[in-house]
Amino acid sequence: MSETATLILDSAERTARQGGFNSFSFRDIAAEIGIKSASVHYHFPTKEALGEALAERYTERFLAALGEPEAQAPQDMLRRYVALYGSALKEDGLMCLCGMFGAEIAHLPDGVARKTRAFFERNMAWLQAVYAADGLAEGAAFQRAAHMIATLEGAMILARSMGEDRLFDTVTYDLV
């Protein structure tokens, strides 16, 4: 991937994680990185393609940061999972990209919706593996994984809505 394509994704991701899929535009991206909007279309022909690339890169980075589900003790892996959401919110000051896309999934182009769903499926699989390693049965692991993702995504929304990032820690304090 070219450096320009990376700059495009960086710009789009930051804006999308504040205002959703309709908040970034080819023009704004182009202006921010000092090229013309037609050149953005050269790298990503349609907005759907750009959105897919965004969700895909985000998912890959997210899972890479998590590592293998059995890398350490289950409790440590869960703490790492919570911390990854927390750093996204507190260090970057941004929502989870796929949480944002997930909220508006009914209005997204098909390809973007698919990639968004894939993020959650892969996160579910990762968490279920951790809970399974902790000795939980399949059904219980599934339930706990869904609860974990839901609580973290919701905690980001609540913290941002109330303008108080510490709320994220309040919600997640006894989650692991």
Partner DNA sequence: ATTTCCCTATCTACTGATAGGTAGATTTAT
Partner DNA sequence: ATAAATCTACCTATCAGTAGATAGGGAAAT
Residues in Cβ contact with 83 at an 8 Å cutoff, skipping those fewer than 6 apart? none
What is the distance, to the nearest Å, from the Cα of residue 38 to the centroid of all Cα atoms in its chain? 28
DSSP one-letter code for 20: -
2 near a copy of itself, rule: CB under 8 A: no
Least spacing, CB of residue 123 vs a copy of itself, in Å: 9
Q: Which partner from the list DNA, a copy of itself, none does 20 bind, CB cut-off 5 to 8 Å by kind?
A: a copy of itself
Classify residue 2 by burial, with Cβ atoms within 10 Å: 0-12, 13-18, 19+: exposed
Nearest to 123 by CA among 147, 107, 100, 155: 147
- 36 lies in the binding site for DNA (CB under 7 A): yes
**Which is nearer to DNA, 32 or 165 (by Cβ)?**
32
- The listed partner (DNA, a copy of itself, none) that binds 64, CB under 5 to 8 Å by sort, is none
Q: Does 19 bind DNA (CB under 7 A)?
A: no
Tokens encoding 81: 């999972």
Token representation of residue 131: 């809970």
The one segment of 4-12, 56-64, 128-136, 143-151 that binds a copy of itself by CB under 8 A: 143-151
Which residue intervals of the chain are DSSP H helices? 3-19, 26-33, 37-43, 47-66, 74-90, 97-103, 110-133, 138-161, 166-172
* 72 DSSP assignment: S
Name the minimum Å distance from CB 92 to a copy of itself.
Answer: 12
Single out the residue of 6, 19, 27, 121 in contact with DNA (rule: CB under 7 A). 27
From 41-49, 58-66, 135-143, 157-165, span contacting DNA (CB under 7 A): 41-49
Helix (H) or strand (E) holding 162: none
Binding mask 64-103 for a copy of itself (x = CB under 8 A): -------------------------------x--xxxxxx
Footprint of a copy of itself (CB under 8 A): 18-20, 22-23, 95, 98-107, 116-117, 119-121, 124, 142-143, 146-147, 149-155, 157-158, 160-163, 167, 170-171, 173-174
